[in-house]
Amino acid sequence: MRHKRMMKIFWMKAGADDGMEFRDSFGELNSFILDSLRGLDETIQFHQGKERTEKMKKKSYQLGEMQKKLNRHEAFQSSLTNFFILLFSFGMLFFMLWNYENGNVTYQEMILSVMGMMGSFGPVVALSNLSNNLNQTLASGERVLSLLEETPQVKETEGKEATVFKGAKAEGVSFSYEEEEILKDYTISFPKGKVVGIHGASGSGKSALLRLLMRFWDAERGTISISGKNIKEVNTQDLRNMESYVTQETYLFHDSLANNIAVGKPGASLEEIQEAAKKAAVHDFIMSLPKGYETEAGELGDTLSGGEKQRIGIARAFLHDAPFLLLDEPTSNLDSLNEGMILKALKESRKNKTIVLVSHRESTMNLADVVYEMENGRIS
């Protein structure tokens, strides 16, 4: 009896431990997926979809193995429960037979008691399990079906002739977002080797133009062309290789600062990462941290200020070293000293690069060869 009790305690503890591991792994997978979705721009820009997908598959496989282990414990516990149900049922049968033989109960009372006891457990347990499983199955099925029915806004292009960057152009481009017209018959050129500045109030369509150049969206009317080719005819991988996009709000993954910068060039050496960080005026800050480049950015990057995150985003772009650099308010969160260092690095590395510079600051616009004013989705 004592041996059986010890076995039961052991299995209950093992099941609880496995359940805790499963919940922890499930939370990690959800966190990883959320992390990837919030950093979707960076994932698409630096063509990291395959790497992130492989990591997600690995975490999903580990979660599946834990689920199997947990199911084995649940099966054991279910079998144990059924065993005791049968034990009590037969115990009730023998008990009532003994009472009947001794004249304590009538035949009808014996039958009713035994049947009531034997019939009370099974259906209740079965219905309870069916209800829980069915609710989970229907909810999961609904989520899966809704995901399968989703269609991508932009279809990736593959199998086309390789494209080398020779400049970009937007001709008669119009674009609306949620029924609000953002760009109206917009035309602008970005010659190779030039720095083109775009100035305008918030909501005038500057960021929308950069996203169209990245082909996060497709224009409703007009044409975006790269090297004289419609952007829809350029291989998506070629497009990602030839473009770097620095947004106003840089997203940092829950990883080391070195790995966050290396998003711009997977497999980059520490020397390359540090060189890019120096150009972005963030190297000294990173080296001042106790763990240096191995410092964790923290969940959602909340351990760093806006300016520090922005400089890491610029370091990614320097490391990516693409010929077409799109900068959306790249110095909005920086002080004048750090802004000056970054502008100096941009000036030194502008050879053979085309830079699109969106900024409110006149000091930043001084780097541009030509500055266009954007108002209500139109150029002037």
303-349 confidence digits (pLDDT tens): 788 888 888 999 999 999 999 999 998 877 778 788 888 888 888 88
* pLDDT score at 247: 87
Asked if the model's pLDDT at residue 7 lies above 50, the reply is no
Asked if the model's pLDDT at residue 119 lies above 60, the reply is yes
pTM higher than 0.85 for the full model?
no
Asked if the model's pLDDT at residue 378 lies above 80, the reply is no
% the chain with pLDDT above 70 = 85
* pLDDT score at 345: 85
pLDDT bin (cut points 50, 70, 90) of residue 380 is: low
Higher pLDDT, 72 or 250: 250
Where do the CATH 1.20.1560.10 domains begin and end in the chain? Answer: 2-148
Q: Tell me the C-alpha distance between 271 and 315, whole Å.
A: 13
State the burial class of residue 17 (Cβ atoms within 10 Å of its Cβ: 0-12, 13-18, 19+). exposed
Asked if the model's pLDDT at residue 377 lies above 80, the reply is no
Where do the CATH 3.40.50.300 domains begin and end in the chain? Answer: 167-379
* pLDDT score at 2: 44
CATH class of 2-148: mainly alpha
The residues, ordered by sequence, that sit 6+ positions from 195 with a Cβ below 8 Å of its Cβ are 350, 354, 355, 357, 367, 368, 369
Average pLDDT over residues 232-250: 90
339-376 confidence digits (pLDDT tens): 888 888 888 888 888 999 998 777 788 888 999 888 76
Average pLDDT over residues 218-237: 92
% the chain with pLDDT above 90 = 27
Q: Tell me the C-alpha distance between 322 and 214, whole Å.
A: 12
184 in helix, strand or coil?
strand
**Cα→Cα distances 28→16, 148, 239, 253, 308, Å:** 18, 23, 32, 13, 26
Which CATH number applies to 167-379: 3.50.50.60, 3.40.50.1370, 3.30.413.10, 3.40.50.300? 3.40.50.300
Per-residue HEC secondary structure of 225-243 comes to EECCEEHHHCCHHHHHHHE
